[in-house]
Amino acid sequence: MNTPEVESALIAELLEALRALPDVTADFACQVDAGGQAAVNDVSVSIRVAGRPLALLVGIRKALYPRDVRQALWQIRDAASRGTGDAGADGTLPLLAAESISPGAKDLLKAERVGYFDAGGSLYLPAPGALFFVDKPPSKSTSRAIRSLFSGRRAHVLHGLLMRREDWLGVTELAEDVSASPSTVSMVLTELERLDWLDSRGQGPGKQRRVSQPAALLDAWAASLRQQPAEAMRRFFVPSMKVDALAAGLDGVCSSHGIDYAVTHEAAAQRYAPFLSNVSQVRIRLPVGSTTEAALGELGARPVSEGANLVVIDTKSPGDLLFRQRVDGVWLASPIQTYLDLVRAEGRAKELAAHLRRTRIGF
């Protein structure tokens, strides 16, 4: 639950947002008795839209996800039907306010024509004879929470779920799959359930989950990555080698030095789902260390600032190579990882990403 200070700040921000709308005035009216429905704290706001007096019944939550919305809708509508608020108003409009509201929750509220407001400043208010819609980026705290879901070992959990999207998975099995702790897996699964992206069955230690909205999850992951800084890359030139020969040469030196690797970006996507007439470089994920430098030296790779045909992405952990696949004698990053690398790359990479997703990933 929110603290009284947070609730007061949220209402103050809502009043400011309402007053910024054309032909709208707004004033705090009163705290409303929710009739024992303790899950929503109700506040009444008196507004005028083009001179017409209305009562805005505001239900306050800390956060709203799709599964929260269903119960909150019933509660706020029940309170609105009892005519709480300004007795001089022509009608009562329900609105849910929260520090953060997920995109899925916003879609549900819009479909039900129930207003919403979040701490980032996004506002949706369907009023008689008018519709107000202000869409703003989420608040910094919400953005940090979203980014954390798509980074580190939490991202490895998402990777495992998408790679085994047809399977019902328990916490322990998934943790073993992605080399993450059961607590990390459990946290991610709980968050995805709140977003309505998982189906579940069973209870307790035997509870299992399966991705129900893989496309939505992958879209959200890609969107999050686009907002993050680009990965650091080291550029090299290897003389007298075309892409296929270079990939084979990399496999040879990595194998002889005992190095796990994964080719990604265009060179990987082209092997999974041919699309481009020509690929000019190999991008590869490699662990940092002297063994890797020795392998690159054996290959004849020299650092360059332009004209590179080999680009090295330093891996932060073995989890960065999860679910790699052996194709035509070369280890490739998984189709999911390859797609995510392509969507924030330059040139025709986005076209290739769309082709890979359509023909190989399938959702």
d(CA 358, CA 345): 18
d(CA 287, CA 293): 10
Contact partners, residue 214, CB within 8 Å, separation at least 6: 162, 165, 363
- The neighbouring-strand residues paired with 60 are 41, 97
Strands (E), the chain: 24-32, 41-49, 52-64, 92-101, 115-118, 123-127, 130-134, 169-170, 198-201, 208-211, 233-237, 262-264, 282-287, 302-303, 310-315, 325-327, 330-332
pLDDT at 38 over 50: no
Q: What is the pLDDT of residue 83?
A: 58
Is the separation of the CB atoms in 234 and 309 below 8 Å?
no
Mean residue pLDDT across the chain: 89
Contact partners, residue 304, CB within 8 Å, separation at least 6: 235, 236, 237
As a whole number, mean pLDDT of residues 39-48 equals 76
Give CA separation, 253 vs 239, 279, 304, in Å: 16, 21, 20
- 247-303 per-position pLDDT tens digit: 999 999 999 999 999 999 999 999 999 999 889 999 999 999 999 999 999 999 999
pLDDT at 99 over 80: yes
Is the separation of the CB atoms in 66 and 77 below 8 Å?
no
Dihedral sign from CA coordinates of 231, 247, 259, 288:
negative
Q: What is the pLDDT of residue 350?
A: 92
Q: What is the pLDDT of residue 43?
A: 85
Q: What is the pLDDT of residue 90?
A: 60
**Residue with the larger pLDDT of the pair 84 and 331:** 331
Residue 328 exposed, middle or buried by CB count within 10 Å (0-12, 13-18, 19+): exposed
**Residue with the larger pLDDT of the pair 111 and 8:** 111
- Containing 247, the helix (H) or strand (E) segment is helix 243-257
As a whole number, mean pLDDT of residues 173-179 equals 95
Pick from 69-73, 183-187, 308-312: least confident: 69-73
pLDDT at 181 over 90: yes
The ranges of the chain annotated as CATH 1.10.10.10 are 150-226
pLDDT at 86 over 70: no
pLDDT class of 8 with cuts at 50, 70, 90: confident
Dihedral sign from CA coordinates of 349, 351, 353, 355:
negative
Per DSSP, 260 falls in state: -
pLDDT at 357 over 60: yes
Written out in words, the top-level CATH class of the domain with range 4-138 is alpha beta
pLDDT at 79 over 70: yes
Pick from 24-38, 225-239, 306-320: least confident: 24-38
Percent of the chain with pLDDT over 90: 60
d(CA 235, CA 230): 14
d(CA 41, CA 19): 22
The ranges of the chain annotated as CATH 3.40.1350 are 4-138
Is the separation of the CB atoms in 126 and 92 below 8 Å?
no
Pick from 32-46, 155-169, 222-236: least confident: 32-46
Give CA separation, 339 vs 29, 267, 335, 344, in Å: 51, 12, 6, 9
Q: What is the pLDDT of residue 303?
A: 96
- 15-36 per-position pLDDT tens digit: 999 999 998 898 886 665 555 4
Please state which CATH number belongs to domain 150-226: 1.10.10.10
Is the separation of the CB atoms in 143 and 118 below 8 Å?
no
pLDDT at 53 over 50: yes
d(CA 213, CA 195): 10
As a whole number, mean pLDDT of residues 196-201 equals 90
Per DSSP, 321 falls in state: G
